[in-house]
Each structure stands twice: as C-alpha cells, then as structure tokens.
Chain A
Amino acid sequence: MRENGKMKNDYKVKTENITVDYGEKRALHGINLNISSNEVTSLIGPSGCGKSTFIRCINRMNDLIDGCKVNGKILIDNEDINNQNMDVVELRAKVGMVFQKPNPFPKSIFDNVAYGPRIHGTVKNKEELENMVRKSLKRAGLWNEVHDRLDASGLSLSGGQQQRLCIARAIAVNPDILLMDEPCSALDPIATAVIEELINELKERYTIMIVTHSMQQAARLSQKTAYFHLGEMIEFGDTSSIFTNPKHEMTEAYISGKIG
C-alpha cells in the first residue's frame, strides 16, 4: 500500500470539483487538488476561506454537520470515499484528524490515547497498549510532561498540552493520512518545534495535510502549498515556487502580508 515509486499521476488523494454548501451558503466552489503520498501539503489562506471545510471533506467529517452538503469526487487510493459502499468508520481510522480546537475526552490522559487502539482492537494485551500509549505520547512530545500523571484528566492539561494530547491520540490509531487543522496555533515555539519535527518524521510513512496561518511554518514543513481565498483554490504548487515566485497576484499579496 505504501510502497514508493508510484507513477507521478498516481496520487494518494484526488479531489475533483469539490463544492460544499452549508445550507444556502456555499463555502467551497469547485476545488481540484491532488496530493501525493509521503508529502506534506499545507493549506494557507485568510480566515474563513474554507481551509477547515476542505480538509474535513477528506475524512467525511462534514457528514456530522446538519445541513452541510459535499459534492464532487474524492478518491483516496483510487477509491471514491463518497461511494455508498464506503465504510466511513474505516475511512476515518485510515484518515486521522487533529482539530483546530483541542478536544480531549473527559477521560484520563492514558484513556485518551488508548481510545483508538481499544476500539479498533489493534493491541492484543495491556502491555502492548501501554507501549502504544507511551510511544504516541513521546512522538507528540508530551511524554516528559505527563508520564507521572497518566491518570489525570485530559482536561487538566494546558491548551497546548491538550493539543499535543490530541495529536498523540490521532497517531495512536496509526493512520495513513493525517489531517491537521492549525495544530500549532495554541503552542509555544518549543512545542511547535517538537510538532514540526514529528511532522517531518511522520511524512516518511504518512501523507499529511496541514492548515496553518504561519507562512514560515508552511515554508519550513511542506513540499506542496495550496492558497485558498473565499472558497476558491487560487494557486497550488511546490512550496518553494509558491513562496518565491507566486503566479497569482492574490497569493503574492497574501504571502507578503497585504491580505488576511
């Protein structure tokens, strides 16, 4: 599944003409975006332009919102995820997500991370589960802060710690694709560096989409960048070329800080 050397047009995620409506209001107007494996793709754009809406299409999270309608074709590993036969639960196990606002469960830190492995039965015994939890917390850079209070409530953590807990929770399921909606917006520079390092490491195995408001972060982390504006994708391409040589004037204006 994850072998390298795919042909150039064999994308991990393909989206064709995606439109999203919240009731009467159209939030996305026909997005076409293809994402390759083992790459980090960052989505940038001013607030309210539809970045969250777009990545929430990839794991069909918008199904949960009353009155939200997604049209268009989304293929993951060449499989249409809006197909009737698609098992949404399996899809979401494969496409992990870290939300814009940290949302730990009102359970212990341990149980938060163990939640995914437990429901999917990916671990055989208690020891494996504990290893899994430890490994995930370490990779999310939270282990040192919480290893002596795994029984404390996840809600007793600070905002930034909660966000890293949510990252640990997501990677404990071992997804193929990881969607991250502004994962560092609540973090200090040190924790941000830990997460960026994690993302760099994860991209060896995962395909990552990250929404960010920080140009530097997008430039540092991602191979591809997409610029959204008012529900349209204005420009998409290699991060280096977008940042040094944007083709569209709106992109240039945004990157140089004139809009947004």
Chain B
Amino acid sequence: MSIINIYMIIIMLLSISSYFYGRNFIKNKTSTSTEKQHSKDTYHGAFISLYLILPSIIFLSLWIVISPNIIDELLTIKIIYIFGQLGIDELKILKSQVIALSNGVLIAGNLSEEVNYISDYYLYIQTVSKKIYIILSCLGSAAAFLYARKKITIRFNARFNVEVIVKSIMILASLIAILTTVGIILSLVVETIRFFEIINIADFLFGLKWSPQIALRADQVANEGLFGAVPLFAGTLMITVIAMVVAVPIGLMTAVYLSEYASNTLRSIAKPALEILAGIPTVVYGFFAALTVAPFLRDKGADIGLTLSSESALAAGLVMGIMIIPLISSLSDDVINAVPQSLREGSAALGSTKSETVKKVILPAALPGIVSAILLAVSRAIGETMIVVMAAGVAANLTANPFESVTAVTVQIVVLLVGDQEFDSAKTLAAFALGFTLFIITLGLNILSIYIIRKYREQYD
C-alpha cells in the first residue's frame, strides 16, 4: 500500500473523530453558558470534520494533476543532462525504459549503467513528491481544523456553513461530469477539424464511395472519393428504418395491451419478461442475427426466388427491432399509465369501447411521450454496433436493397480503429469525423424529444 493511501485513511479517521470532537466541544461550551445555542451539535461536528478533510482532498486532486508533469519535466532534464541532446524518439524510448525499470517490468541487468542511475533518480523524485504532498496537506488540514475550532461558538451558524460546503461539493461533482463531456466533445471537434484539413468536407459528406483502406499508402492519401460517408449513413438509415418498422408497432401495441387490457397477473409476468429482453447483451442479439436469422431469411428467400446475401440489412434490422421493442414498450407504458384514470372513465361513461378510448383519448394524450420514446429508440438504433457488425457486414455498399449487405457508421468506426495505425492518419481521423457526425445526429434527436416532452408536458395536471 502506498504511503498516500495510508495518509488518506488516517485523514478520514481523523475527520470522523473530529466530528465527535466538534459535537462535544460545542456541548461543553453551551453547558457553561446561558446563551441559546444557534445550530444543533451535529452541525458543529460536521462543520469541523469537513474543514479537516477538505484541504487534503483538494491538494490530492491538484497533486494528481500537477505532479506527473513536474516529474516528467525533471526526468527529461536529467536525461538530457546525462546523454546530451537527443532526438524525440530516442528520448521517448529512454523514458519508457526508465519507467519500466522503476516499475519492475524490466530487469536492471539488461540495461546500461546510466539508465539504472536515472531510474533510481526517478523513484527518488516520486517519493519526494509524495512527501511534499503529505506535508502540505497535513499543514492545510491542521490549519483548517484549528480555524474551524476557533469559529465554533454558541451563536455560530454552523448549519448554514455546512450547507455552503455541501453545496460546493455538489457543484464540484456536477462540474466533473460536465467538464468530461465538454472535453470529449472538444476532442471530437478538434480531430474532426484535422480530418477535414486532409479530406474535403464535401467529399466526406457527399462522397459515394467509402474505402479508407487504400488511403493507408502514403501516395494515395486524400485520394478523392475514398472517404465518402454516404454509404455508411445510408446503411445506418436503412437498418434503423427496418428496426423501427418492427419495433414501433409491436412495442406500442404491447404497451397498450399491457396497460389497458391485460389482467394484473398477466402484466406481472409480461413486464419482467420484457425487461429480460432488454437485458440481453447486444452481442447475443448479434450472433442470433448472424447465425439464426440471416440464414433463415436466406433460405426462405431462396424458396420464393429472392437472393439474399448471407449478411443483410434485413437480418440486422429485424433483430435490432426486436432488441428495441422493450425500450419502446416500457417507455410508452409509462406515459400511457401517466394518463389519468379519470379520462378513461370519462370516455367510458360516454359509451365508448375500450379501443375507441385508446385511439381517441389515451394515445392522443400520451402522444408526446410516445414520440419522444420513439426518438430515443432511434438514437439507440443509430448508435448500435454489435448487431450490425455481425449481421449486416462491413462492406460499404451503397444500395437501397435490404437483402444486400450494408454497413453502418458505428461499424466503420470500429473497423477504422482496430489494428495498428498512426494516430495522425486520415483513416484514424475519419473515425472522429464519423463519431462527431453521429453525435450531432443523436444530439439533435434527443433535443427534439426533450423539446416535445416540454412542449406538451403541462397538458394534464
């Protein structure tokens, strides 16, 4: 266990005990005084305990971010000091040797004297950096503890102060989530821009031919037409449409049946069953599609004189539709159940049948929710990879024939990134461009569905 871990455990224990310390501290103060205590004992305890632990935690996050850079810098200086000026590649190799050696991955005997020496140095500065961290946070925590202890008086508003600290912690937590998202999007955007420096954006968006492999050879980079994304988006679109044609009617009717017609017993069996369907890993659907559905379709197609390739958009779309049914049915079931019972009674009391009530009152009232459920399902279908890889293939055919093999955007991203390649090559960057485009599309769909929900939310309440 590293010394940092030990330190953190100690600090936590101290923080817990300072909670009790703070409680007793204020109790003692109050017992000898006639004044009325402002906040409850527990708030004073929480106040002092939070003050004790916060500096250590803040320093820890700073240390995690900053110290590797400093250590790396020191290491570089040391290497240059010993070996003289080196090329970038040589420097990289030396560094990784040093680090591997100090982690015990390499064995010292195989390497030169100098590398061993630098490795020792590397370990040394790491230890020093840990020590610096511990000393600083000890000081910080101690100071904060003393400060908090001084603040605790009978009239001190500990309740409010704890509230402020808790609020800041929560803001911090949500900031982490937001910043991560922003970081991912930024890296997508930056790499996409770099891609468009190599490949014309119009060629990407409107090009009809996708074959990035050829571009690997240096003389053919940026050969026009190779990065035309239209076949991929067409493939994604076709598979998504097939999936929706399967999933929307079945899912919707399931939801209506379960919430309006089914008996309680049936509902208590069918709903968990559907949830199981939702829990099947997509890769299982994938081989179900590839090994069962696709051959079945091919054979049946052959019987009636249709030629289906063994990987087809139809097989992938059908299975993806089945995968999405539970999503649509459970989301729609929720919105249908949210339609107030009084509307059903009102409609029934006017002498309408159940199906008239469903058609004329319940579905219209639930429509916004259903539409947004469908949009969410579309996003899901667009982002799905496994089933398409396994059942629809990787060949970028531009075709409107669902019996042929097609490929999807997600699949091509995988294809682009597996195996070794230069990070800067157009091929790798193309993955970012595809990812970014996909992101824009699903983002648009999600915004649309949120907008629809908002717009019609206030309908009944």
Contacts and interface: CB of A to CB of B under 8 A. Distances in A.
Interface residues of A, number: 29
Interface in A60-99: 61, 64, 66, 89-94, 96-97, 99
Contact of A61 (B340, B343, B348, B352): B348
User: Which of A89, A166, A173 has the largest number of chain B CB atoms within 10 A?
Assistant: A89
A119 B354 CA distance: 12
Nearest to A112: B346
Q: Is the interface of B mostly helix, strand, loop or mixed?
A: helix
A103 B339 CA distance: 12
A166 B352 contact: no
A61 B349 contact: yes
B349 A119 contact: no
A92 B348 contact: yes
A119 B348 contact: no
B116 interface: no
A64 B346 CA distance: 11
B366 to A, nearest CB: 10
B224 interface: no
Contacts of B347: 105, 115
B350 A173 contact: yes
Contacts of B101: none
B380 interface: no
Contacts of B28: none
In the A-B complex, the 9 residue pairs with the smallest Cβ-Cβ separation, listed nearest first, are: A93-B351, A103-B342, A97-B349, A92-B351, A103-B346, A116-B350, A106-B459, A119-B352, A106-B365
Interface of A: 59, 61, 64, 66, 89-94, 96-97, 99, 101, 103-107, 115-116, 119-120, 153, 155, 166, 169-170, 173
B350 to A, nearest CB: 4
Contacts of B340: 103
Interface string B333-359: 000000011111111111111001000
A173 B356 CA distance: 16
Contact of A119 (B342, B360, B459): B360
A119 B351 contact: yes
Main SS class of interface, A: helix
B364 interface: yes
Interface string B312-350: 000000000000000000000000000011111111111
A166 B356 CA distance: 18
A170 B345 contact: no
Interface string B101-120: 00000000000000000000
A115 B343 CA distance: 12
B162 interface: no
B368 to A, nearest CB: 10
B264 interface: yes
B346 A105 contact: yes
Nearest to A93: B351
A93 B460 CA distance: 25
Interface of B: 264, 340-353, 356, 360-361, 364-365, 459-460
Contacts of B352: 89, 115, 119
Contacts of A66: 264
Contacts of B344: 64
Nearest to B461: A155
B459 A92 contact: no
A155 B350 contact: no
Contact of A93 (B342, B345, B350, B365): B350
Nearest to A94: B351
Contacts of A173: 350-351
Contacts of B342: 99, 101, 103
Contacts of B341: 64
Contacts of A91: 351
Contacts of A166: 346
Given A64-B344, A99-B345, A104-B346, 20 more contacts: A59-B349, A64-B345, A64-B348, A66-B264, A90-B351, A96-B349, A96-B350, A99-B342, A103-B340, A103-B345, A115-B352, A115-B360, A116-B350, A119-B351, A119-B352, A119-B356, A119-B360, A169-B346, A169-B350, A170-B349
Contacts of A106: 343, 364-365, 459-460
A103 B344 CA distance: 9
A59 B341 CA distance: 17
B346 A119 contact: no
A153 B460 CA distance: 11
Contacts of A93: 350-351
10 contacts: A61-B349, A64-B344, A89-B352, A89-B353, A94-B351, A105-B346, A106-B343, A169-B346, A169-B350, A173-B350
Most chain A Cβ neighbours within 10 Å, of B342, B343, B344, B348: B348
Contacts of B264: 66
Nearest to B460: A106
Given A99-B342, A103-B342, A105-B343, A92 B349 contact: yes
B259 to A, nearest CB: 12
Contacts of A99: 342, 345-346, 349
B350 A92 contact: yes
A96 B343 CA distance: 15
Contacts of A90: 351
Given A64-B344, A155-B460, A116 B351 contact: yes
Contacts of B346: 99, 103-105, 166, 169
Contacts of B348: 61, 64, 92
Contacts of B343: 103, 105-106
A61 B347 CA distance: 11
B356 to A, nearest CB: 5
A107 B364 contact: yes
